[in-house]
Amino acid sequence: MMKNFYSVTLDPEKCKGCINCMKHCPTEAIRVRGGKAQILYDRCIGCGECIRACSHHAKKVNYDPFSIIDGYEYKIALPPPSLYGQFQNLTNINYVLQGLLDLGFDDVFEVSCGAELASQVTRMYIDHAHNLPVISSACPAVVELILMRFHNLKDHLLPILAPVEIAAKLAREAAVKKTGLAPEKIGIFFISPCPAKIFTLKTGLGSTSSKVDGVLAQSDVYFRLVEKMNAIKTEPDERMTSGLLGVGWASSGGEAAGVLKEKYLAADGIENCISVLEALENNTLTDVDFVELNACPGGCVGGVLNVENPFIARAKIKKLRKYMPVTRSRIEDFGRDLSYFAWEKDPETMPVFRLDADFGKALMKMQQVEDIYAQLPKLDCGLCGAPSCRSFAEDVVSGRLPEGAVCPRLKEE
């Protein structure tokens, strides 16, 4: 696993030092210093809000180049259901799967198949869960946020692997069996809709080892794939291993629907997710058994690596699901017990907002923050390179700014 992997990086050439990204970051992880944006990586949840906000396209997603697949003898593509919503006039998902084979993959394994298995495991888990509501762990940006800011709610997280990890595990095992190759000769490649999923697949949340060999970007694969799909002459073979339930995970509410429980809630968009988490923490959200949270607007179809508008993609997927069976995969088909799908390790909370590990010192520092803050103009204008007056004060006290740093507006006066 990579320890210091950054899923979002800055192109300093393109960065104009405006404060748009900084203002949109939900965890206040961006500063503008020396006229360029900087990411405080210990606070980055990979949600992609800064990428959406940057009109200069200076924020980049750190995905693997397509050529990475050449390093493996047997290559398997893992397409997520959000990919299915990206194409004009698509009537049959098998065109996408065939297109991936024509692109050079030896096999495909649908993430929506992993999603169907995850749904089934979730249903079994919820029936015995003592910490209701269960909070979905499929969106890694939300999980990171909980681990950083909502420590109370960690025990509510659904402790099972994400659909992509389940798909990757099963795909590799099936390929070893089929080809007789050593596991490391088999390359498993996820086609990601977002930086958050790249980050967790490289670094692991509930996994002890990376389940994939590379993470490609939907936006990067898209044009190559469309070309191959357009060249398909005859109706492609049936390769789908998921039904409308698995494919439904592409947009917000899809995972919750798969739980087959009446008392659920599904929220999307990072600010909405934060509101729901606040309510859960205040105990004001009762009488729900399952909470699905997606950082992106509309769910994974809204991830920043998608090509299509999230709501158009959602409508397209709705149409594609129309004549599908409810599910095509069950855990029984794979002969696995529940432990196969469980988190391999308990992810740890990260006290990234703590002013000091020592409570007494933290109290002292907070008093200093309050004192500095009291003097500031409270405009939250961003001129100082911090997202708010309060975070300017925190930066001074935490040493992120030199001691004695002065608010530029106060200097003007």
Partner 1 sequence: MSGIKLSYRVDGDNFSSAGEASEQVKMRLKQLGVDSSIIRRVAIAMYEAEINMVIHAKGGMAYVEVEPDRIVLSLQDEGPGIADIELAMKEGYSTAPDTIRALGFGAGMGLPNMKKYTDEMKITSEVGKGTTVDMIIYLSAK
Q: Which of 184, 235, 278, 346 binds partner 1 (CB under 8 A)?
A: 278
Q: Does 118 bind partner 1 (CB under 8 A)?
A: no
Coil/strand/helix, residue 29: coil
Residues in region 152-211 near ligand SF4 by CB under 6 A: 193-194, 196-197
If we measure between CA atoms, which residue out of 26, 29, 253, 277 comes closest to residue 154? 277
Asked whether the CA dihedral 207, 211, 176, 100 is positive or negative, the reply is: positive
Q: Which does 295 bind (CB under 5 to 8 A by kind): partner 1, ligand SF4, none?
A: ligand SF4
What residue 196 binds from ligand SF4, partner 1, none (CB within 5 to 8 A, per partner kind)?
ligand SF4
Question: HEC states along 111-173?
Answer: HHHHHHHHHHHHHHHHHHCCCCCEECCCCHHHHHHHHHHCHHHHHHECCECCHHHHHHHHHHH
Number of H helices and E strands in the chain, helices first, is 16, 11
Residues 215-274 contacting ligand SF4, CB under 6 A: none
Does 152 contact partner 1 by CB under 8 A? yes
Of the chain, the end-to-end C-alpha distance in Å amounts to 51
For residue 54, the number of C-alpha atoms closer than 13 Å in the C-beta half-sphere is 26
Please tell me whether residue 231 binds partner 1 under the rule CB under 8 A: no
141 binds ligand SF4 (CB under 6 A): yes
**363 binds partner 1, rule: CB under 8 A:** yes
Site membership for partner 1, residue 367 (CB under 8 A):
yes
Rounded-to-integer distance, Cα 331 and Cα 118, Å:
9
37 binds ligand SF4 (CB under 6 A): no
Shortest distance in whole angstroms from residue 364 CB to partner 1: 7
d(C-alpha 267, C-alpha 280), whole Å: 13
230 binds partner 1 (CB under 8 A): no
The item of ligand SF4, partner 1, none sharing an interface with residue 354, based on CB under 5 to 8 Å by kind, is: partner 1
Please select the residue that binds ligand SF4; options are 299, 310, 347, 382, rule is CB under 6 A: 299
- Is 81 one of the binding residues for ligand SF4 (CB under 6 A)? no
Q: What is the helix (H) or strand (E) element at residue 13, kind and residue range?
A: none
Contact with partner 1 (CB under 8 A) among 14, 16, 57, 151: 151
Q: Nearest-5° angle of CA 158, CA 154, CA 133?
A: 55
- Residues that bind partner 1 (rule: CB under 8 A) add up to a total of 24
Residues between 8 and 27 that touch ligand SF4 (CB under 6 A) = none
**Three-class SS state of 186:** strand
3-state class (DSSP) for residue 38? strand
Can you give the binding site for partner 1, defined by CB under 8 A? Answer: 149, 151-152, 278, 281-284, 349, 351, 353-357, 359-360, 362-364, 366-367, 370, 394
